[in-house]
Amino acid sequence: MWTDLLEAGIIVSVLAAAIRIATPILFTALGELVAERAGIYNMGLEGMMLMGAFAGWLGTYHSGSALVGIGAAVLAGLVMSLLFAFMVITLQIEQIVTGLALNLLASGLSTFWLRSAFSDVNKVPGISILQNAPIPLLADIPYLGAVLFDQRVVTYAALLAVPAVWLFLYRSRLGLEIRCIGENPKALDIKGHSVALRQYAAVLFGGAMAGLGGACLTVAATAHFVPDMVNGRGWLALVIVIAGGWSPGRVLAAALIFSFLDALQLQIQGVGIQIPYQLLLAMPYVAAILALMLRRKAGRAPTMLGMSYRRE
């Protein structure tokens, strides 16, 4: 049965699944990467993704358009992160505690809305989800085409976001300023620029991306909203930023490795190999813990990560 896994068709489908599964985590991790480079630790990612998933589903359900759903998800992420930014940047409340509080808020809020909109939670309507959009010509390349170019639009967007975030951080003025804030905010402050304004921008971007990531879970995957359906992906995104050493390229690599393990365990379950499925499910998370342990030395977090800035 193990040999089944080595067939070309299976390998292709595992790899294609890996890239699909990576999409929501990649969006969220890229957004968090920018926020963390500006020194802000957003522990509320799980909640922001959840709100994104909920808003994406609700928006699509009411409008019948996935685009409206995704727009609603981005908006939900922005609103959540605006609240978060106000608390940690303006009020300077501890970042970790604030993030945790937002997770609870999102969990409660989404369930409450779901219940008040649909009296029978077990009969929540489904939405029509995004279908694969194969890219002409490229999708016909043997193997590679099926892995890379026969995916959903959101997946292409997530992959394109990697070089976009890189260009932003390393080739734009604002990107340099944001990296500067994560290392030494005073250096920007004494040149007469607002540190808080840029941190707001970074956090809002992170929130929008988390909302987008959440939307992928409903609009592009399951058609239904289930309470607490994000199921740890927000936390995984946080780990991926660390494992990816705060750089867009390596964040992509880390996201792919985790989602590959996830896809692999699905496939192993699928071909019926006798391993308790709980062990398989745990695989990506075990890998996450290992990655954290290995990164202990090599990782270089932004110096001011998690600390609020106040001019003395």
Partner 1 sequence: MTARLSISNLSKRFGPVIANDGVSLEIRPGELHCLLGENGAGKSTLSSCLYGLYQPDQGRIVIDGEERRFRSPADAIRASIGMVHQHFVLVPTFTVLENIVVGTGAGWRLDTRAARRRVSELCQRNGLQLNLDALVGDLSVGEQQWVEIVKALYLGARVLILDEPTAVLTPQESERLFTLLQQMTADGLSIILITHKMNEVMRSDRVTVLRRGRVVGTVETGSITREELTQMMIGRQLKQIEAEDRAGSGAPAVVTISAVSLRDARRVAVLDNLSLELRAGEVLGLAGVAGNGQRELFEAIAGVRRTERGEIRLDGKSVANLSAADIARRGVGYVPEDRFRDGLVPDLTIAENIVLGQQWQAPWRRGVLLDAARMREHAARSIADFSIATTGPGERIRRLSGGNAQKVILARELAKATRCLLCNQPTRGLDVGVIEYVHGQILRKRQDGVAILLASEELEDLMRLSDRIAVIFRGRIMGILPRHSASIALLGQMMAGTPLEQAA
**Contacts to partner 1 by CB under 8 A:** 170-177, 179-180, 183-184, 186-193, 300, 303, 311
CB of 298 to partner 1, least distance (A): 12
Cα torsion angle, 46, 51, 56, 58, sign? positive
Phi-psi map region of 309: left, alpha, beta (phi>0 left; psi -120 to 50 alpha): beta
**Smaller CB separation from partner 1, 107 or 184:** 184
Report, in Å, the least distance between residue 179 CB and partner 1: 8
Tell me how far, at minimum, the Cβ of 140 lies from partner 1, in Å.
37
Indicate the residue type of 285. Answer: Y
Which is nearest to 51 in space by CA: 238, 229, 222? 229
When the beta carbons of 123 and 171 are compared against partner 1, the nearer one is 171
**Nearest approach, Cβ of residue 242 and partner 1 (Å):** 17
CB 220 to partner 1: min, Å: 30
How is residue 120 written in tokens?
């029978």
Residue 124 or 305: the one with the smaller Cβ distance to partner 1 is: 305
CB 5 within 8 A of CB 271: yes
The distance of closest approach from Cβ of residue 188 to partner 1 in the complex, given in angstroms and rounded to an integer, is 5
Q: Which is nearer to partner 1, 107 or 193 (CB)?
A: 193
- How far apart CA 240 and CA 291 sit, in angstroms, is 9
- By beta-carbon proximity to partner 1, the closer residue of 15 and 180 is 180
Query: How near is the Cβ of 199 to partner 1 at its closest, in Å?
Result: 14
Q: At what angle do helices 45-63 and 95-117 cross, to 10 degrees?
A: 30
**49 within 8 A of 99, measured Cβ to Cβ:** no
In the bound state with partner 1, the residue whose beta carbon lies nearer, of 224 and 300, is: 300
Q: Given the complex with partner 1, which of 55 and 89 has the nearer CB atom? A: 89
Q: In Å, how far from its chain's centre is CA 185?
A: 26
**How far apart are alpha carbons 210 and 105 in whole angstroms?**
16
Residue 115 or 300: which CB sits closer to partner 1? 300
Give 124-137 as a DSSP string.
Answer: PPP-PPPPP-PPTT
The whole-angstrom separation of Cα 96 and Cα 4 is 45
Torsion of CA 163, 164, 170, 173, to 10 degrees: 170
Contacts of 34 (CB under 8 A, 6+ apart): 165, 168, 169, 178, 202, 205, 206, 209
How far is the CA of 243 from the CAs of 27, 98, 169, 232, 240, in angstroms?
16, 23, 18, 16, 5
- Residue 167 CB, nearest distance to partner 1 (Å)? 10
